[in-house]
Chains A and B, each alone.
Chain A
Amino acid sequence: MDPMESIKQTYFVECDELLADLESGLLALESDEGDSDTINAVFRAVHSVKGGAGAFGFEALVEFAHVFESTLDAMRSGTLAVDNDNVKIMLRAADVLADLVQAAKDGSSVDPARTQTLADELSALITPQDGAPVTGDDGEPAADSWGFTPLKLDIDEPAAPSRWILTVTPTPAAYAKGHDPAILLREVARLGDVECWLDASALPDLNALDPEGSYLRWTVFIDSAVEETAIRDVFDFVGEDCPITLDREAPADQPLEDIAPPPAADFDVAALISLAQAQSGSDPAMPSDEPAAAPKAADHEESGGGREPSKQAAAGATIRVDLERVDRLIDLVGELVINQAMIAQRVVESELGRSSSVAIGLDELEQLTREIQDSVMAIRAQPVKSVFQRMPRLVREVAGMTNKSVRLVTEGEGTEVDKTVIERLSDPITHMLRNAIDHGVETPDERVAAGKPAEGVVRLSASHRSGRIVIEVADDGKGINRPRVREIAINKGVISPDANLTDDEIDNLIFAPGFSTASTVSNISGRGVGMDVVKRSIQALGGRISIASVPGRGSTFTMSLPLTLAVLDGMVVTVGDQTLVSPLTAIVETLRPKPTDIRLLGPKGAVLAVRGAHVPLIDIGVALGWRDEPIPPANGVILLVESEVGGRAALVVDQIQGQRQVVIKSLEQNFQHVDGVAAATILGDGRVALILDVDAVIAARSRDRFEPQPLAQAS
């Protein structure tokens, strides 16, 4: 790969993290959990995005980030209030920023009007603030597209209360002891409004430069309201290594140049370099962008962003690893588990006995292997929080657009799921939430009329169930308007007018292709994506979606997805000459039926009487097409299972081999989805065993039962 390209990739990966930080920071501010550190973190995130964007020449991104940064800076310095309205604008700005990053990444386009609107809104936040040092008095920081905020010399400013003038002159000893002027100056900046000038006039030519010397001096103008002791305290522990002077500013009419000479005149790195080159004949290939780098560094200094201590600390705590390497590791550990199981089997076959040293050593190996496996799996697992925390804003936006009052409640944010699944959760959840607010929750007036609180509640929750992750979006709105759904379905030819459908079937019509209940295609739900598309995309992931609705009480969308790469506790069973694994979580109980418990029903069907209830019997061999005739249930073993869709069922298998933890292997990776099969695994003998998709087997069964129904879309 082109090295520039790979650096760019790294930048975009970082951007994703920075944008996430930005968002969580803003959300914390919004919910009043943030402090000055949060504001700093938010500022740093935007600043870092801007810095990289500048290096790659993403001008639109730089420009917007700059405006954003300036506004955040005002917030950081306390000139802009951290209130709900301001944070709200910033949340939207973060949105635009993310879009711009995406645009820079894939070359897509971003609506310039929207960007401009928000940039204007951001600027408007800080323009009325008199004398805000970052924006300058013309309030047009956006004009400078290269991220270098020019320092304004407020020479013509009317006489303000005289400010403190602080000079800081670190000695070489200060540097030798590891004192960083940037940190000191940043401390000072926290006290109040500051203007910081660097005096580099003492800086010698490069050939005369002592690398351990100290040549720089800073002059800081500090807001008059700051206490003298507070300023002195900052430098207290540096002591005489860093002499300071502190005075009140002279009357405003005294030319500032006397105190702080314009830096550009004395600090011309380009000139220094060319001079050094001319004198020493040193490497002429000195990077030509050096002059550009210097103002950048100065920018850092000025903005107080400086180096990022928290980021440096974090760098030690996490590493970035290519996903493929982790995948490879997971595969290898899976192999290790299988190999270990194979050796165990050999040891048993060799009749060495359980107390032999080999067997004991093998037990230890088994434990180690399990631990390695768990640890490796944990690498990829991530809490769904990263997806959930994007949703509050979406809910606000959609609620705003539809003039509804909605509160989002999230549960189970800590539920862990594989990274690959996390990435694909966002779209369906977004759509379900939009749908819940747009179609489910009523307007405040309607709600009050219906005797409900004006504010609707949408509950987003995640949990582990049956070896899958289950995401629920529940609203307390009006529920599905079944007569209307039915009418539309008939109008659109989805069902025939005389179809006799149960409530459940009507509810599920909203997943039928080309179905949309909104009488007008609204901006929110009608983005060309119907629930059928959502359903298909979920199915493509091996997931399922269903809806339950109570008129007047609300609807609940339930989406369940596999935890793709995870270990599964399974019941290993024999069906015909095949070995099959059934997820343990789906199994309620296993039993050997008495012949008297089996009742025939209809020409081919049979049910099992379990404690007074009658559960349909399904022969797994037949369901999977491995045999034509079911075995007599009394000769087999029954797995009583509970499914998300079809209630209980009794699965007939030949034999139970035992419980085992198995590594889930995707069938889709090299092949494709197979109905009735959730995934595959590799057993101790090295053979592939299929993992049963209990719900799909039961659902297939209920489809058969409903087949005579005149559903046009039935395949």
Chain B
Amino acid sequence: MDEKTPEAVPSELISFRIGAQEFCLDIMLVREIRGWSQGTPLPHSPPYVRGVINLRGAVLPIIDLAARLGLGQTEPTARSVIIVVHIGRRLVGLLVDAVSEILAADPASIQPTPNIGCDTVNKFVRGIIPLEGRMISWIAINDILPEQAEADAA
């Protein structure tokens, strides 16, 4: 597995919902999708780290993507899912409300992120994709982990 997420536009994207907004990420980064289960909380961690769960013997940290993107804490329901993704050599679970569909990515349709003066958006939204009257934000997950882990991964 490569150290870095490829910068090129992926061929397929997986889209998911957080609240009323839709997001997507490169499907090649996704290892699996699993149901929500309560994790073991970690001390001294940012609020968007929802603890760790057991993924077939590995300890998997769960990032509440809503909280990470500044959209408030997720109240997990039975429909909530964890998208297990590769970030560098790490495996990380992203808590989202629901997975919607798989999109074929057309590079031409991806528009640059409009500058709305929000650091979180600038940091995590790599581009936007208009689709059937909706707007899907293509997110970059490289910086999802707290900073210490990023430094280690570099």
Name A's B-contacting residues (CB within 8 A): 331-332, 334-335, 338, 578, 623-626, 665-677, 680, 682, 686-690
* Alpha-carbon distance between A676 and B41 when the two chains are bound, in angstroms: 13
Contact in complex: A680, B90 (CB < 8 Å)? no
Our pick among B40, B44, B91, B148 for the contact of A680 (Cβ within 8 Å) is B40
Our pick among A332, A665, A669, A689 for the contact of B90 (Cβ within 8 Å) is A669
Contact in complex: A671, B52 (CB < 8 Å)? yes
Closest-by-CB residue of A relative to B45 is A674
CB distance from B78 to the nearest CB of A (A): 19
CB distance from A498 to the nearest CB of B (A): 32
Contact in complex: B57, A671 (CB < 8 Å)? no
Contact in complex: A671, B40 (CB < 8 Å)? no
Given A665-B59, A666-B59, A670-B59, answer yes or no on A624-B43 (Cβ-Cβ < 8 Å).
Answer: yes
- Interface size, chain B (Cβ < 8 Å): 26
Our pick among A335, A338, A671, A675 for the contact of B59 (Cβ within 8 Å) is A671
Given A677-B43, A690-B40, answer yes or no on A672-B148 (Cβ-Cβ < 8 Å).
Answer: yes
* Alpha-carbon distance between A335 and B54 when the two chains are bound, in angstroms: 10
Closest 3 CB pairs of A and B: A624-B43, A672-B149, A671-B61
Task: Mark interface residues in B134-154 (1 if CB within 8 Å of A CB, else 0).
Answer: 000000000001101100100
Contact in complex: B58, A665 (CB < 8 Å)? yes
Contact in complex: A626, B43 (CB < 8 Å)? yes
Q: Which residues of B contact A676 (CB under 8 A)?
A: 43-44
Task: Mark interface residues in B19-48 (1 if CB within 8 Å of A CB, else 0).
Answer: 000000000000000000001111111000
* Contact sample, A vs B, 6 pairs, CB 8 Å cutoff: A623-B43, A665-B58, A671-B92, A674-B42, A674-B45, A680-B52
* Alpha-carbon distance between A673 and B51 when the two chains are bound, in angstroms: 13
CB distance from A420 to the nearest CB of B (A): 14
Q: Which residues of B contact A674 (CB under 8 A)?
A: 42-45
Contact in complex: B44, A687 (CB < 8 Å)? no
Contact in complex: A672, B44 (CB < 8 Å)? no
Q: Which residues of B contact A686 (CB under 8 A)?
A: 54
Given A335-B57, A680-B59, answer yes or no on A671-B43 (Cβ-Cβ < 8 Å).
Answer: no
B56 at the interface (CB under 8 A from A): yes
Our pick among A331, A687, A690 for the contact of B57 (Cβ within 8 Å) is A331
CB distance from B64 to the nearest CB of A (A): 14
Task: Mark interface residues in B43-77 (1 if CB within 8 Å of A CB, else 0).
Answer: 11100010111101111110000000000000000
Contact in complex: B43, A682 (CB < 8 Å)? no
Closest-by-CB residue of B relative to A580 is B40
* Alpha-carbon distance between A307 and B146 when the two chains are bound, in angstroms: 56
* Alpha-carbon distance between A656 and B143 when the two chains are bound, in angstroms: 39
Extra contacts, 8 of them, besides A623-B43, A688-B53 (Cβ < 8 A), are A578-B41, A670-B59, A670-B61, A671-B149, A673-B148, A676-B44, A680-B59, A687-B40
Q: Which residues of A contact B43 (CB under 8 A)?
A: 623-626, 674-677, 690
* Alpha-carbon distance between A667 and B61 when the two chains are bound, in angstroms: 8
Residues of B79-121 whose CB lies within 8 A of A = 90-92
CB distance from B34 to the nearest CB of A (A): 13
CB distance from B143 to the nearest CB of A (A): 14
Our pick among A623, A668, A688 for the contact of B152 (Cβ within 8 Å) is A668
CB distance from B91 to the nearest CB of A (A): 5
Contact in complex: A688, B57 (CB < 8 Å)? no
Closest-by-CB residue of B relative to A540 is B152
Q: Which residues of B contact A670 (CB under 8 A)?
A: 58-61, 90-92
* Alpha-carbon distance between A205 and B99 when the two chains are bound, in angstroms: 75
Our pick among A332, A666, A672, A688 for the contact of B54 (Cβ within 8 Å) is A688
* Alpha-carbon distance between A338 and B57 when the two chains are bound, in angstroms: 9
CB distance from B76 to the nearest CB of A (A): 16
Closest-by-CB residue of B relative to A331 is B57
Q: Which residues of B contact A673 (CB under 8 A)?
A: 148
Q: Which residues of A contact B57 (CB under 8 A)?
A: 331-332, 334-335, 338, 665, 682
CB distance from B142 to the nearest CB of A (A): 15
Contact in complex: A667, B52 (CB < 8 Å)? yes
Closest-by-CB residue of B relative to A336 is B57
Q: Which residues of A contact B45 (CB under 8 A)?
A: 674
CB distance from A584 to the nearest CB of B (A): 20
Closest-by-CB residue of A relative to B63 is A671
Closest-by-CB residue of A relative to B148 is A672
Contact in complex: B59, A677 (CB < 8 Å)? no
Closest-by-CB residue of A relative to B87 is A670
Q: Which residues of A contact B145 (CB under 8 A)?
A: 671-672
CB distance from B41 to the nearest CB of A (A): 7
* Alpha-carbon distance between A337 and B146 when the two chains are bound, in angstroms: 32
Our pick among A626, A669, A687 for the contact of B58 (Cβ within 8 Å) is A669
Contact in complex: A690, B42 (CB < 8 Å)? yes
* Alpha-carbon distance between A338 and B59 when the two chains are bound, in angstroms: 14
* Alpha-carbon distance between A672 and B148 when the two chains are bound, in angstroms: 7
Contact in complex: A677, B60 (CB < 8 Å)? no
Closest-by-CB residue of B relative to A700 is B44
* Alpha-carbon distance between A320 and B41 when the two chains are bound, in angstroms: 40
CB distance from B141 to the nearest CB of A (A): 13
* Alpha-carbon distance between A665 and B148 when the two chains are bound, in angstroms: 19
Q: Which residues of A contact B56 (CB under 8 A)?
A: 335
* Alpha-carbon distance between A669 and B58 when the two chains are bound, in angstroms: 9
Q: Which residues of B contact A690 (CB under 8 A)?
A: 40, 42-43
Closest-by-CB residue of B relative to A690 is B40
Closest-by-CB residue of A relative to B90 is A670
* Alpha-carbon distance between A623 and B44 when the two chains are bound, in angstroms: 9
Contact in complex: A675, B44 (CB < 8 Å)? yes
CB distance from B7 to the nearest CB of A (A): 23
CB distance from A53 to the nearest CB of B (A): 31
CB distance from B26 to the nearest CB of A (A): 19
Q: Which residues of A contact B146 (CB under 8 A)?
A: 672
Q: Which residues of A contact B61 (CB under 8 A)?
A: 667, 670-671
* Alpha-carbon distance between A673 and B61 when the two chains are bound, in angstroms: 12
* Alpha-carbon distance between A220 and B136 when the two chains are bound, in angstroms: 85
* Alpha-carbon distance between A687 and B52 when the two chains are bound, in angstroms: 9
Q: Which residues of B contact A335 (CB under 8 A)?
A: 56-57
CB distance from B122 to the nearest CB of A (A): 24
Q: Which residues of B contact A625 (CB under 8 A)?
A: 43-44
* Alpha-carbon distance between A673 and B59 when the two chains are bound, in angstroms: 13
Contact in complex: A689, B40 (CB < 8 Å)? yes
Q: Which residues of A contact B40 (CB under 8 A)?
A: 578, 680, 687-690
* Alpha-carbon distance between A666 and B152 when the two chains are bound, in angstroms: 14
Q: Which residues of B contact A626 (CB under 8 A)?
A: 41, 43
Q: Which residues of A contact B91 (CB under 8 A)?
A: 670
